[in-house]
Amino acid sequence: MSVKRIVIMGATSGIGLVLAEKLASEGMRLGVAGRKTEVLRELQQKYPSQINYATVDVTRSDAVDRLHGLIERMGGMDVYVHVAGIGFDSDPLVPANEIATMQTNVVGFTRMIDAAYLWFRDHHGGCGHIVAVTSVAGTKGIGRLAAYSASKKFQQTYLRALEQQALSGRLKIRFTDIRPGWIRTPLLDAGRNYPMIMQLPYAVGRIAGAIGRKARVAYIDWRWGLVARLWSLLPEPLWVRMNIPVDSLATAPQRRVNAAEETDGEIAPE
């Protein structure tokens, strides 16, 4: 990946934080954003000549203005990477948690992806690269991850639709949809084993590679791509009768889960 100006939204934990550290160590110029100001400040102090930061909550109406301010301090943006997200176990079903997931993963996601798209359209000659960490969970509706898997499906569909719009408008905006499976982060139960779990450095290395080669869709890793393809072959009547266990989700109210990230963190399977 040549030296570029990269904004990472959701850079204060999990995938976003490790990705920021990796890219900064490779000489990239970064704008890092998320809700945890102290983590962002520490990143900037570690790489003072390369990193600018902004405290941003994607669910707030001022998020776009804060993003624009960060881009201005960077002198522009070549790549926008969206990692921020949350998730909860949907069993038992808690409407407040489901709505909170949608507010971050659908409304907040749309707010920030639109902001990046319009900035590239209006300030970068119609060129740019938008990257989003979605999830393998978005390929199917999972009962224990009802809002989460639905929100990730929305993200995948929205990216595809914006790509179509960009091509119709003859814009040179590229899109990358990163779909991770289980990734070991501090928010997973250290005493439990998860299928095909990956360590963060391994997963982030593959995510950085997918961004560098501008992959359209990248499963992290190939095993989860195989799982997604097998899921797609199952008839819906069979799928809805399956009990898909999901043990890594937080059950405490308002706890944000991270498996690839995100809440700057996100939940697994990421």
Residue 102 or 265, more confident: 102
Stated as kind and residue range, the H or E segment containing 67 is helix 63-74
Four-CA torsion 175, 54, 14, 270, nearest 10 degrees:
-30
In DSSP notation, 160-229 reads HHHHHHHHHTT-EEEEEEEEE--EE-TTS-TT---TT-EEHHHHHHHHHHHHHTT-SEEEESHHHHHHHH
In tens, the pLDDT along 176-221 reads 999 998 787 655 556 666 678 888 999 999 999 999 999 999 998 8
10 Å CB burial of residue 130 (0-12, 13-18, 19+) is buried
Decide: 80 and 129 in contact? Cβ < 8 Å.
Answer: yes
The chain-wide mean pLDDT, for the chain, equals 86
234-241 average pLDDT score: 82
Whether this model's pTM surpasses 0.75: yes
Q: Domains of the chain, with CATH numbers?
A: 5-239 (3.40.50.720)
Q: Is the dihedral of CA 221, 87, 15, 70 positive or negative?
A: positive
d(CA 40, CA 66): 14
- pLDDT tens digits, residue range 22-65? 999 999 999 999 999 999 999 999 999 999 999 999 999 999 99
Split at pLDDT 50, 70, 90, the class of 247 is: low
| Token pair belonging to 29 | 């110029």
- 85 pLDDT higher than 70: yes
Structure tokens at 171: 């814009």
Which range, 17-26, 142-151, 221-230, is most confident? 17-26
Among 16, 40, 6, 5, smallest CA distance to 262 is for 16
The angle at the Cα of 263, spanning 261 to 268, to the nearest 5 degrees, equals: 45
DSSP type of residue 103: I
How far apart are alpha carbons 8 and 22 in whole angstroms?
12
pLDDT of residue 269: 38
Residue 264: predicted pLDDT: 45
Query: What pLDDT, on a 0 to 100 scale, did the predictor assign at position 2?
Result: 64
Residue 258, number of CB atoms within 10 A of its CB: 30
Separation CA 20–CA 5 (nearest Å): 12
Percent of the chain scored above 90 by pLDDT?
64
